[in-house]
Amino acid sequence: MSIAIKVPAVGESITEVTIGQWFKNDGDYVEMDEVICELESDKATFELAAEAAGVLKIKGQEGDTLEIGAVICEIDTEGSQAPSTPEGPAETSAETKKTGSGEVKDMVVPTVGESITEVTLATWLKGDGEYVELDEIIAEVDSDKATFELPAEASGILRHVAKEGDTLEIGGLICQIVESGEPSSGVGDSKGTLMNTPGVERSEVAGKESYATGHASPAAAKILAEKGIEASSVKGTGKDGRITKEDAESAQKAAIAPAKAAAGSAPVESKSASPVVEGDRNMRREKMSSLRRTISKRLVAAKNETAMLTTFNEVNMKPIMDLRKQYKDLFKDKYNVNLGFMSFFTKAACMALQEWPAVNAQIDGNEIIYHDFCDVSIAVSSPKGLVVPVIRNAEKMSFAEIEQEVVRLAVKARDGKLTIDEMTGGTFTLTNGGIFGSMMSTPIINAPQSAILGMHNIVERPMAVNGEVKILPMMYLALSYDHRIIDGRESVSFLVRVKQLLEDPTRLLIGV
C-alpha cells in the first residue's frame, strides 16, 4: 500500500513552496515521523516528516516549486528495509548505521545559539573519503553572527552530504563518518565505497589523485582570491597535492603575451578600430557569506524601518590628548593596557545615556523599553565583516576595565572566536570610523537600538577661542537616532553633554 505525501498548508498567505533539499534518497527506507526533506517558502523554511514507515518514492526534485496540496512523494508501507548485499550496504534511517566496514555516524548541524535557525557550510577542511580522528576539525560553518568549527564526532572515513555554500537548518544532516579502528589504505570507487587493494602500500595510494589534489586550504584560498589567481593554475605541494598557504603565497599570475605579438603581421582593418587595451583586466565573482548577507539585510531594514536622522557636533580633543600624554606610561605599567580614546568616549556616553534615557531605549511593538544599565556595543571590523561585541554594564566600569574589555573583544573578533552572547543585547553603539581616516559620516542604527554615536579622525584646525585663533585637534561627532522615540531636543542635548564631558575629562572622574 502506498501513501501519498502532499505539501502541507504552512501559512494562510503561502500558496506554494520550493523543495530545498532531500534528506533521504529515492528507494530509501524511512521511519514514521522521520524528517525526509526541507521545504522553503517566501517567508520561512519547513521540514517535512514521513507520515508512515516504508520505502520512499520521490515525486518532486530539489528546486521544484509545488503548490499547497500537491503530491511530493509516496511511501510504500509494504516495503521493508533491504538487507546488506555484496554489491553495497543498504542505508537505514537510524542515526548510527551498520555497514560492511563499520558503523556509520550521522553528523547533524549542532545548536549554536537560541536565535540561530540555519547555518551555511563555508569550508570543508577534510575531503570526502579522508580518514578523520575524533574531535578533529572537519569543517567551518557560518551563521548570520559568527563562524563556528565543526569537530568530528567519531574516528573513521568522512562522507560529505552537504556541499560548500549549502544552507542547512539546525539539526540538518551535514556529513557521515564510517567508523573504523584505523585509517583504511583503500581509495574510493565511483560509488563512494572503499576498495581495499591487497599488496598496495599506503604511500602508493597517497600518490594518486584524490579530493585533496588541487584543492586549496581555507588560508590558501583566501590568498589566491586576493591575488585573483585560479586554484587550478597552482601546483599543490601538500598532502595528496593539496594547495598550502605557502603555495598560495609563492604563486604568481601567468604571463600574458602582448596583444601585438599575438596579432603578428595581421593587417589593420580600420583606423577607427577600438584601441588595444594593455594590462590585466581580471574580474572575479564571489558568493556572499552568510554573515555579509545578514549584515546587508539588517542595514537595509534599519534604513527602511526607522525614522533615522543624524545630528553633528565637534569636540576639542586637546584636553584628553594632554591627559593621555601625561599618564599613559603610568597607566600601562599599572594595568598592562594602553589608555586609548575608547574608554573616554564610553564613559562619557554612559553618563549622557543615564541623563537622557530615551537614547538608551528601544521600541518593542507599541511599547518603549527603557534600560537602567548601559550595554555598549563596539563596532569592530573583522576579516569576515563588521561585528558588534558588547561591553556589559559599562557604566560601572573603570577606565582600565573598559580598555581591557575592548582589547579582549577586538582580539576575539579578529580571530573569529566571538560567541553569540558576546554580540547580542547591546543598548547603544559606538563606532570609530576615524581609525580608517573618515572625517564625517552618518552611521546606521544598530537595530533594535535607537541610537549610534560615530567618532571620526582628529584633524588640527584653526578655531576661534576667546577672540583668538588657535590650532586645535578637533573631531566631528555624529549621532544617528530613531526619531520615533528620540526627539530633537534629546538627541542634541545628549551630544552636547558628551562634548562637554570630553572637553573637560575631569567631569568624568567626579561625575558632574
- Whichever domain contains 316, its CATH number is 3.30.559.10
Q: Based on the fold, state whether residues 10 and 72 are members of the same structural domain.
A: yes
Q: Which residue has the higher pLDDT, 243 or 91?
A: 243
Q: How far apart are CA 462 and CA 474, in angstroms?
A: 9
Q: How far apart are CA 497 and CA 153, in angstroms?
A: 55
Grid cell, residue 400, equals: 582600565
- CA distances (Å), 325 to each of 28, 109, 433, 470, in order? 72, 51, 23, 20
In whole angstroms, how large is the CA radius of gyration of the chain?
Answer: 30
| Final residue in a domain of this structure, among 145, 168, 186 | 186
pLDDT of res. 204: 40
pLDDT of res. 12: 63
Grid cell, residue 377, equals: 556595543
Would you say residue 91 has pLDDT above 50?
no
CA-based nearest residue to 138, from 122, 149, 148: 149
Rounded to the nearest integer, the mean pLDDT of the chain is: 80
Across 453-468, average pLDDT: 93
Q: Which residues contact 113 (CB under 8 A, 6 or more apart)?
A: 143, 145, 420
Q: Based on the fold, state whether residues 385 and 413 are members of the same structural domain.
A: yes
Q: Based on the fold, state whether residues 376 and 494 are members of the same structural domain.
A: yes
Residue 20 is assigned to a structural domain of this protein: yes
pLDDT-derived band at 499, boundaries 50, 70, 90: very high
Q: Based on the fold, state whether residues 329 and 435 are members of the same structural domain.
A: yes
What's the CATH number where 60 sits?
Answer: 2.40.50.100
Q: Hey, which residues does 363 pair with through a beta bridge?
A: 368
Q: Based on the fold, state whether residues 40 and 178 are members of the same structural domain.
A: no
Q: Based on the fold, state whether residues 69 and 121 are members of the same structural domain.
A: no
Across 248-276, average pLDDT: 56
Residue 209 is assigned to a structural domain of this protein: no
Q: How far apart are CA 364 and CA 238, in angstroms?
A: 54
Using an 8 Å Cβ cutoff, are 374 and 353 in contact? yes
| Final residue in a domain of this structure, among 186, 208, 237 | 186
pLDDT of res. 255: 46
Least confident of 30-39, 289-298, 479-488: 289-298
Residue 196 is assigned to a structural domain of this protein: no
Quote the Cα angle for 206-208-214, to 5°.
100
Q: How far apart are CA 38 and CA 47, in angstroms?
A: 5
Q: Could you report the per-residue pLDDT of 223-235, keeping only the tens digit for each?
A: 787 777 877 778 7
Q: Based on the fold, state whether residues 154 and 110 are members of the same structural domain.
A: yes
The alpha carbon dihedral of 423, 428, 433, 435 has a sign of negative
Would you say residue 386 has pLDDT above 80?
no
| Final residue in a domain of this structure, among 186, 203, 235 | 186
Q: Which of 128-137, 438-447, 478-487 has the highest mean pLDDT?
A: 478-487
pLDDT of res. 274: 65
CA-based nearest residue to 350, from 316, 399, 312: 399
Q: Based on the fold, state whether residues 361 and 489 are members of the same structural domain.
A: yes
Least confident of 47-56, 118-127, 142-151, 250-259: 250-259
pLDDT-derived band at 399, boundaries 50, 70, 90: very high
Across 233-247, average pLDDT: 73
**Is 483 noted as a catalytic residue in this protein?**
yes
Would you say residue 190 has pLDDT above 50?
no
Residue 122 is assigned to a structural domain of this protein: yes
Q: Based on the fold, state whether residues 324 and 176 are members of the same structural domain.
A: no
Across 11-34, average pLDDT: 82
Grid cell, residue 26, equals: 529515492
Would you say residue 102 has pLDDT above 70?
no
Residue 330 is assigned to a structural domain of this protein: yes
Q: Could you report the per-residue pLDDT of 408-454, keeping only the tens digit for each?
A: 998 888 887 888 888 888 999 999 988 888 889 999 998 889 999 99
Give the count of domains, the chain: 3
Using an 8 Å Cβ cutoff, are 308 and 302 in contact? yes
Least confident of 69-73, 233-237, 297-301, 418-422: 233-237
Q: How far apart are CA 284 and CA 303, in angstroms?
A: 30
The residue from 26, 33, 64, 487 that is catalytic is 487
pLDDT of res. 257: 42
Would you say residue 263 has pLDDT above 60?
no
The residue from 135, 322, 421, 483 that is catalytic is 483
CA-based nearest residue to 435, from 452, 419, 457: 457
Q: Based on the fold, state whether residues 341 and 435 are members of the same structural domain.
A: yes
pLDDT of res. 272: 56
Residue 7 is assigned to a structural domain of this protein: yes
Would you say residue 502 has pLDDT above 90?
yes
**Is 240 noted as a catalytic residue in this protein?**
no
Helix (H) and strand (E) counts for the chain?
A: 10, 30
Q: Hey, which residues does 140 pair with through a beta bridge?
A: 123, 149
CA-based nearest residue to 373, from 405, 352, 350: 350
Q: Based on the fold, state whether residues 45 and 173 are members of the same structural domain.
A: no
pLDDT of res. 7: 87
pLDDT of res. 81: 63
Least confident of 214-228, 264-278, 362-376, 444-458: 264-278
Q: Based on the fold, state whether residues 117 and 21 are members of the same structural domain.
A: no
Query: H or E element: which one contains 293?
Result: helix 290-305
Angle between helices 341-355 and 399-414 (to 10 degrees): 110
- Structural domain of residue 130, as residue ranges? 96-186
Residue 292 is assigned to a structural domain of this protein: no
Q: Which residue has the higher pLDDT, 473 or 135?
A: 473
Residue 365 is assigned to a structural domain of this protein: yes
